[in-house]
Chains A and B, each alone.
Chain A
Amino acid sequence: MTYEELLTETALKDERIIVMTAENRALVRNIPTVLGARFVDTGITEQTMVGMAAGLALRGRIPIVHALAPFLTMRAFEFIRTDAGIAGLPVKLSGYIPGFLSDGNGPTHQAIEDVAIMRGIPGMEVYSPADEDDAVKMLPSIWAAPVPAYVRINHKKGTFVHAAYQPGKAEVVAEGKDLTLLVYGFLFDNARQAMALLEKEGLSVGLVNMRSLKPVDEEAIVRAAQGSGLLVTIEDHLQTGGLYSIVAEVLLRHRMGATEVLPLALNERWFRPGLLSQVLETEGFTPAAITSRIMRHLQFAGGVGEPSGARII
């Protein structure tokens, strides 16, 4: 099932759903004909779209709102925070091409702070499915909850059949004694391949698909920290405010501040634009690059953060 098929099926079953877009129809190509007046394209107006979504939600609707992730979360940020957030209305935000998925567009289109700013809104939930299969498993319960939510939409075909989704819970794919990879979004696939490469090096490797970043599955993080010598956070997001920050917050809250954590993220810069495969090469997020960065870190065991390498500006 695709994202659009799920959306269509859900909207046809539930009259409350209004599908909106700020003229970004990539995910909703056939919806206009199927839904008629319950499809609302406001044109290139992210602020008005989100404000209208709040008004529709006030009337009992569940607006599912589409735009490119950077424009949705940043152009309309104050509307999300003030209209959906303060009122706690069930406005469901679908951010398209987040993170590296904006590949060749350049920094204007790079949503690499979206997790940080969206989770900063009281009551806002934040999700990042690994692939289309994961999205289709997660979205029904996300859309059904009576609260605002932001989803980093990823409709790439994965190579993995995901477990059923339990609200707010991570998917623990494997547990490992030497290290655990904590990952969200489309980088899950590369992390899974990196896991296989690391195992070939003789390491015992865990892998967690975070799925829900807010609320976050604290138990999954704590268990990984207890069972592994090293946690590695992998994200196409700034190091500030994303998964690395979330994990740090959880570990401090549980008095596990001495846990060793290696962040693989973007540190204080936008990424070099290009075809996705090239971006992954350049930024060090291919399976091989993830593996070698972790191996390098292990060779400098006991050091803080990343000793060398990945800074390419």
Chain B
Amino acid sequence: MQSTALRVREHIIRLSAGGGCFIGASLSCVEIMVYLYTHVIRRNADEPNDPQRDYLFLSKGHDVPALYGTFVEMGWLEADRLSNHLSTQDSIYWHPNRHIAGVEFHSGSLGHLPAVAAGVALDCKLRGGQNRVVVITGDGELNEGSVWETLLVANAYGLDNLTLVVDRNQFQANIRTEELVPLEPLTDKFRAFGCEVRRIDGHDYGQLEEAFGEAMRPANGDGVIHGSGGKVKVIIADTVRGKGLPSIEARADRWFCAFSGDEVLQLLEELHGNKEAAIESETLVVR
């Protein structure tokens, strides 16, 4: 998994050339995504529409380079296609969409996919399925009221087959969450909304394994539901924005970045433990 994560980070760094990408928020959720696709999500690429499959939704959306990097490493997406980034001839742009096989739903507008995933989870329960439904949200995304609204409803319907993973990288766009709209104590907030909550180091596979092992206990395929007392699972994964690249880690101005080809080469060196990159490109701070 570690080498897979390293290669996913290489893909992300390469995608930050040219038109750029949301590099910081992509690097923070690499371990989460690699772990989920290699150990949690039961999905057969040859049967993409299998109704028994597990679902993974990316709600924050702008972390899509991590998703596509993982897809390449899983063998679901040809590596060549990443060079089509931002070409109108392909569908590899700044937010996920269903034109890319394996993407369950498009996102980009924050606070939508918890609700969409709740609908999917409800149907899985109605049909007595054992599907797991996982949604990755950002932490800044938790500003959106619709996330909390959906938690109320999902818990009312006992959707214990639904897991929300918060990529808690401490930043929203260009500012620290706690400096703008403070979220802490976050565990308490989710508990107060009726969820079963775990807080872990989102870069530590041991902790991911422990948390998901617990959260992914087989759901009751009992045809449901309302008032059943089943709880939505929340895993708050503490992460570092820009993880893997010391020169950009936890920096407010490294959210959306468009690097030169030379800088990308330097960042790849830095990723492999060599000299820190000297970045001269003006990063696009406000978007």
Interface residues of A (CB under 8 A from B): 37-38, 40, 42-43, 45, 47-61, 63, 78-79, 82-83, 86-87
Q: A37-B126, A55-B117, A55-B122 are in contact. Are A78 and B153 (CB under 8 A)?
A: no
- Beta-carbon contact of B112 and A79 below 8 Å: yes
CA distance A51 to B117 in the complex (A): 8
Q: Which of A37, A43, A59, A86 contacts B153 (CB 8 A)?
A: A43
- Contact of B119 with A by CB under 8 A: yes
Chain B interface: which size bin?
Answer: 20 to 34
Give me 19 other A-B pairs in contact (C-beta within 8 A), A48-B146, A51-B118, A79-B146 excluded: A37-B126, A43-B152, A43-B156, A45-B153, A47-B115, A48-B149, A52-B115, A52-B153, A53-B119, A54-B119, A55-B119, A56-B123, A57-B119, A58-B105, A58-B119, A63-B119, A82-B106, A87-B105, A87-B106
Sample of 5 A–B contacts (CB below 8 Å): A47-B115, A55-B121, A56-B119, A58-B104, A59-B120
Structural contact, B225 and A54, CB atoms closer than 8 A: no
Given the complex, which residues of A lie within 8 Å of B114, measured CB to CB? Answer: 51
B223 at the interface (CB under 8 A from A): yes
Counting CB contacts under 8 A, is B51 at the interface? yes
Which residues in A have their C-beta under 8 angstroms from that of B226?
37
> Is A51 within 8 A of B224, CB to CB?
no
Contact for B116 among A42, A43, A61, A83, CB less than 8 A: A83
**Contact: B146 with A51, CB < 8 Å?**
yes
B116, A54: Cβ atoms under 8 Å?
yes
CB neighbours of B118 from chain A (8 A): 48, 51-52, 55
How many whole Å from B148's CB to the nearest CB in chain A? 10
Q: In the assembled complex, how far is the CB of residue B154 from the closest CB belonging to chain A, in whole angstroms?
A: 8
Please report which residues of chain B, range 94-112, place their CB below 8 angstroms from some CB of chain A when the two chains form the complex: 98, 104-106, 109, 112
CB neighbours (8 Å) of A57 from chain B are 119
Give the docked Cα–Cα distance between A170 and B149 (Å).
Answer: 40
Q: CA of A30 to CA of B223 in the docked complex: distance in angstroms?
A: 21
Pick the residue among A37, A38, A59, A63 that contacts B51 (CB under 8 A). A59
Determine the chain B residues whose CB is within 8 A of the CB of A49 once the complex forms.
153
**Is B23 at the interface (CB under 8 A from chain A)?**
no
Which chain B residues border A43 with CB–CB below 8 Å?
A: 152-153, 156
User: Can you name the residue of chain B whose Cβ is closest to the Cβ of A56?
Assistant: B119
Give B159's nearest chain A residue, CB to CB.
A52
Which B residues lie within 8 Å of A79 (CB)? 112, 115, 146
Residue pair A61, B123 in contact (C-beta under 8 Å): yes
Contacts of A55 in B (CB 8 A): 115-123
How far is it, in angstroms, between the C-alpha of A56 and the C-alpha of B106 when the chains are bound? 15
Q: From residue B236, how far is it (CB to closest CB) to chain A in Å?
A: 21
Closest to B109 in A: A82
Query: Per-position contact with A for B141-175: 1 when CB-CB < 8 Å, else 0?
Result: 00000100110110011000000000000000000
For A54, list chain B residues within 8 Å (CB): 105, 115-116, 119
Mask, B27-47, CB within 8 Å of A = 1, is: 000000000000000000000
From A20, which residue of chain B is reached at the shortest CB distance?
B119
Cβ-closest chain A residue relative to B113: A51
A45 CA to B124 CA, complexed, in Å: 21
CA distance A53 to B153 in the complex (A): 13
CB distance from B4 to the nearest CB of A (A): 28
Q: CB-nearest residue of chain A relative to B225?
A: A37
B116: chain A residues within 8 A (beta carbon) = 51-52, 54-55, 58, 83
Asked whether, in the complex, the Cβ of A52 is within 8 Å of the Cβ of B105, the reply is no
Closest-CB distance, B160 to chain A (whole angstroms): 16
Asked if B223 contacts A37 (CB within 8 A), the reply is: yes
Distance, CA A43 to CA B98, complexed state (A):
30
Which one of B120, B146, B150 contacts A58 once the chains associate, using CB atoms below 8 Å? B120
Contact yes or no, A37 B119, CB < 8 A: no
